[in-house]
């Protein structure tokens, strides 16, 4: 037999769920995240592959034509971090990611943004991807390995949220 009206148990369960949503801000998981502030970025698997410490700060890597961009903020309050060194490397039309000339570094601006021109990234191990690292010591080291949706893209962005040491 099909009921035309919801049973009392269904109504009570719905009211309890609504009360929970109103009390916790949509999800109980969100309240602790808000209380802690902005969570730090974890290192990505494979992010440190072919890492070479101490890559020089450069105007661009190779002949350019592709842009690696992103932002760097402090964990907790999310403040932009100025003058932070970000190392970038990739498998490109001009070299493999293990080649020293495929590595370079740049500094963030007053808004915590960075931008470095480099040769077009090409697939390595089937995926076009870049590598980025923060490794300067004031904050925990983070390695990123963002993957492009298509090898035809001419830019890739990656954002860091750094945890003070």
Q: Using one digit for the tens of pLDDT, what is the confidence trace for 32-73?
A: 444 469 999 999 999 999 999 999 999 999 999 999 999 999
What is the 8-class DSSP label of residue 62? Answer: T
Pairing assessment for the beta strands 103-107 and 113-118 based on DSSP bridges: unpaired
One domain, residues 104 and 155:
yes
User: For the chain, how long is the longest CA-to-CA vector?
Assistant: 75
One domain, residues 79 and 19:
no
One domain, residues 29 and 72:
no
CB 92 within 8 A of CB 84: no
Where residue 73 sits, what CATH number does that domain have?
2.60.130.10
Does residue 53 lie in a domain region?
A: no
One domain, residues 27 and 92:
no
Q: How confident is the model at residue 20 (pLDDT cuts 50, 70, 90)?
A: very low
Q: What does pTM read for this prediction?
A: 0.77
Average pLDDT of the chain to the nearest whole number: 86
One domain, residues 79 and 31:
no
Pairing assessment for the beta strands 155-157 and 66-74 based on DSSP bridges: parallel
Does residue 105 sit in helix, strand or coil? strand
One domain, residues 74 and 150:
yes
Say how many domains are in the chain. Answer: 2
Question: DSSP 3-state helix, strand, coil percentages of the chain (rounded to 5)?
Answer: 15, 35, 50
Pairing assessment for the beta strands 130-134 and 155-157 based on DSSP bridges: unpaired
Does residue 148 lie in a domain region?
A: yes
One domain, residues 32 and 82:
no
Does residue 8 lie in a domain region?
A: yes
One domain, residues 24 and 74:
no
pLDDT at 125: 82
Domain that holds residue 21: 1-36
> Which stretches of the chain are assigned E, i.e. beta strand?
66-74, 85-90, 103-107, 113-118, 130-134, 142-144, 155-157, 160-162
Does residue 47 lie in a domain region?
A: no
pLDDT at 12: 47
Does residue 59 lie in a domain region?
A: no
Does residue 131 lie in a domain region?
A: yes
pLDDT at 3: 54
pLDDT at 116: 99
Distance in Å from the first CA to the final CA of the chain: 64
Which residue in 141, 146, 132 sits closest to 87, CA to CA?
A: 132
One domain, residues 84 and 158:
yes
- How many C-beta atoms surround the C-beta of residue 65 within 10 A? 14
Does residue 132 lie in a domain region?
A: yes
One domain, residues 79 and 124:
yes
Q: Read off the tokens for 23.
A: 């009390």
CA angle 55, 84, 102 (to 5 degrees): 25
pLDDT digits (tens, 9 = 90+) for 76-88: 999 999 999 999 9
- How many C-beta atoms surround the C-beta of residue 159 within 10 A? 16
Whether pLDDT at 137 is above 70: yes
Percentage of the chain exceeding pLDDT 90: 76
């Amino acid at each position: 037999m099909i009921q035309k009206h919801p049973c009392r148990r269904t109504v009570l369960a719905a009211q309890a769920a609504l009360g929970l949503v109103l009390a916790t801000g949509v999800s109980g998981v969100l309240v602790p995240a808000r209380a802690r502030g902005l969570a730090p970025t974890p290192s990505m698997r494979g992010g440190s592959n072919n890492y070479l410490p101490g890559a020089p700060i450069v105007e661009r890597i190779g002949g350019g034509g592709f842009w690696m961009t992103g932002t760097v903020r402090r964990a907790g309050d999310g403040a932009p971090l100025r003058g932070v060194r970000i190392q970038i490397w990739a498998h490109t039309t001009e070299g493999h990611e293990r080649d020293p000339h495929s590595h370079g570094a740049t500094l963030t601006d007053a808004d915590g943004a960075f931008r470095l021109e480099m040769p077009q990234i090409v697939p390595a191990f089937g995926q076009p991807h870049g590598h980025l690292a923060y490794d300067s010591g004031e904050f925990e080291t983070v390695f990123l390995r963002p993957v492009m949706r298509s090898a035809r893209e001419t830019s890739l962005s990656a954002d860091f949220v750094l945890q003070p040491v």
